[in-house]
Amino acid sequence: EYDAGGYMPANIGDILKNQYKVCRKLGWGHFSTVWLCRNLLDDGPTYVALKICKSAHMFAAVAQDEIRLLRETRSIDPNHPGYKYIVQMVDTFRLISVNGIHTAISMEIMGPSLLHLLIQSDFRGYSNRRCQKNNNSGLTYLHDACRIIHTDIKPENILIKVDQNYIRSMIGKTDRFTELGQEMPRSYDRDADIKYTDEDILSKFEELRGQSYPHDKFLIELTTFRERHSEPRLTSPMWVSPNIEIKIADLGNACWEHHHFSSEIQTRQYRALEVILGAGYSFPADIWSTGCMAFELATGEMLFSPKGDRNPTANMDHLCLIWETLGGIPPYITETGTNVRHYFHNGRLKNIPESTLRVWKIEDVLVDKYKWKRVDAIPFAGFLESLIEPDPALRFSASMALQNEWLTSTD
Ligand code: ATP
Ligand code: MG
Ligand code: MG
């Protein structure tokens, strides 16, 4: 995709806009490549993440929306307590390459994502109270002050804060993921002679994330991989307590409360009930995703991972999973939305015999499957259930979540 209309070719050492020296590649996505750059106008030295978008008109237009949203989050209220939990834009400009004109956005530099941290926990999960606090603070700012809906809250889009020393140490290394934390990559024995390291997994991850629902495929791949090893699960959650601060990144899919860009939003596994039903959405959709993410960070497994990616099968499977987790969906919820007639009849899931559904509430899942102590499971399940409340009007707001007993208590 390094051709006309596509990514901008960039090389380590290039100097862009007479100001930014390219140090290494940080990542890439559907729209862009992202580079660690040193700001030559600053002796610090200081570094930025430079997102260089594909040049085709469609990508340029999306980049303009992202810039508008980022400008707003940068300027609305820097004194808001949630302000510092949103990754901020520094500067924006245009670059010309053989492939066309590229929009470039320089942003404050961040470290790996919470997905990387999950991988590093070997999918056992970790204590995520702190992440939850930061994430919900960030959302109070986006929602209450900026009136912006993120629409893509998930571990991959939450980035860890790192300091300038860490960034300097990253330069020249091939894989920033393995540098986080004390533990060196574990090796995995597969068939005696094939060894997988975290680096292999990360490159697999990089390879898969460019495809549709990369997160999903990637996790399935890894889950199968782990199951094949039948690695014994820990009998209690591994409370790695990462002493980290995070920020919400990737406003590339965000929209305004009163100006949506799409009716289908969010990555499948984190998609809110009202979005699946076509019942309209607003800020509560982000809270639903936050609940799904909190469960995943704590247990290492996704709360809802519907099978198949073709509608209506995936939606039906998703709704069954939600039904089983909530112990049902209130009949009035099944009556509004452009899609409800495909999935519900008289308040029940269409063509799904009740006997095939197995209600399994979060508290019991935590105790039965993840071997949590009930005394730990109760408050956490209570917190999650307020975030995945089926009625968006009754769901916690980000500021209500911040007051929650589980969130405010200590480990
Ligand atoms: P997509 O929409 O497909 O997720 P995108 O082209 O909009 O991708 P981003 O998600 O914004 O691009 O960024 C791609 C990757 O670059 C991120 O997943 C992350 O690994 C890295 N990255 C983005 N912003 C930063 C930052 N500020 N600091 C460090 N790394 C970053
Ligand atoms: Mg992204
Ligand atoms: Mg994006």
DSSP 95-126: EEETTEEEEEEEEE----BHHHHHHHTTTS--
> How many angstroms separate the alpha carbon of residue 77 from the centre of ligand 3?
24
Burial, 46: exposed, middle or buried (Cβ in 10 Å; 0-12, 13-18, 19+)? Answer: middle
Residue with tokens 């024995």: 189
Lowest mean pLDDT across 70-74, 195-199, 228-232, 324-328: 228-232
- The pLDDT of 126-151, averaged and rounded, is 95
pLDDT at 389 over 90: yes
Using 50, 70 and 90 to split pLDDT, how confident is the model at 324?
A: very high
Half-sphere exposure at residue 357, Cβ-oriented, CA atoms within 13 angstroms: 23
Chain-centroid distance of CA 96 in Å reads: 31
Q: Whose CA is nearest to atom 14 of ligand 1?
A: 28
- The pLDDT of 372-385, averaged and rounded, is 96
- Distance between CA atoms of 224 and 186, rounded to whole angstroms? 17
pLDDT of residue 347: 95
- Distance between CA atoms of 278 and 263, rounded to whole angstroms? 8
Angle at which helix 198-208 crosses helix 214-229, to 10 degrees, equals 150
| Phi, psi (rounded to 5 degrees) for 10 | -140, 150
- The pLDDT of 295-320, averaged and rounded, is 88
Could you read off the pLDDT of 339-370 as tens digits, one per residue?
Answer: 999 999 999 999 999 889 999 999 999 999 99
- Work out the angle at residue 54's Cα, subtended by the Cα atoms of residues 49 and 56, and round it to the nearest 5 degrees: 155
Indicate if ligand 1 lies below 6 Å from the C-beta of 107. Answer: yes
Indicate if ligand 1 lies below 6 Å from the C-beta of 249. Answer: yes
pLDDT at 2 over 90: no
125 in Cβ contact with 237 (< 8 Å) = yes
Lowest mean pLDDT across 89-93, 117-121, 218-222, 267-271: 218-222
Neighbour count for residue 236 (Cβ, 10 Å): 12
334 in Cβ contact with 340 (< 8 Å) = yes
pLDDT of residue 313: 84
Using 50, 70 and 90 to split pLDDT, how confident is the model at 309?
A: low
Beta bridge partners of 48: 37, 108
Could you read off the pLDDT of 5-62 as tens digits, one per residue?
Answer: 889 988 888 999 999 999 888 888 888 999 999 999 988 788 999 999 999 999 999 9
Residue with tokens 């290039």: 14
Q: Which residues are known binding-site members for ATP?
A: 51
Residue with tokens 């929009």: 103
Using 50, 70 and 90 to split pLDDT, how confident is the model at 240?
A: very low
pLDDT at 292 over 70: yes
To the query of whether residue 152 is one of the catalytic residues in this protein, the response is yes
- Distance between CA atoms of 41 and 21, rounded to whole angstroms? 10
Could you read off the pLDDT of 202-213 as tens digits, one per residue?
Answer: 555 555 444 433
Indicate if ligand 1 lies below 6 Å from the C-beta of 365. Answer: no
Residue with tokens 């890894």: 222
CA dihedral sign of residues 324, 328, 333, 339? positive
Answer whether the bond into residue 392 is a cis peptide, omega within 30°.
no
Burial, 116: exposed, middle or buried (Cβ in 10 Å; 0-12, 13-18, 19+)? Answer: buried
- The pLDDT of 157-171, averaged and rounded, is 81
Residue with tokens 């099944």: 334
**Active-site position among 122, 152, 198, 216:** 152
Question: For residue 134, which of 176, 73, 181, 87 has the smallest C-alpha distance?
Answer: 87
pLDDT at 237 over 80: no
Neighbour count for residue 237 (Cβ, 10 Å): 23
For the whole model, what pTM was predicted?
A: 0.85
Beta bridge partners of 38: 21, 47
Ligand 1 atom at minimal distance to the Cα of residue 108: 27
86 in Cβ contact with 246 (< 8 Å) = no
Indicate if ligand 1 lies below 6 Å from the C-beta of 110. Answer: yes
Q: Extract the tokens encoding 46.
A: 């200081």
ipTM of the complex: 0.98
pLDDT at 259 over 50: yes
Beta bridge partners of 33: 28, 52
User: Strand, helix or coil at 239?
Assistant: coil
- Distance between CA atoms of 261 and 10, rounded to whole angstroms? 31
Q: Extract the tokens encoding 200.
A: 């292999």
> How many angstroms separate the alpha carbon of residue 163 from the centre of ligand 3?
24
User: Strand, helix or coil at 28?
Assistant: strand
CB-based burial, 265-289: b 16+ in 10 Å, e otherwise? bbbbbbbbbbbbbbbebbbbbbbbb
Neighbour count for residue 83 (Cβ, 10 Å): 20
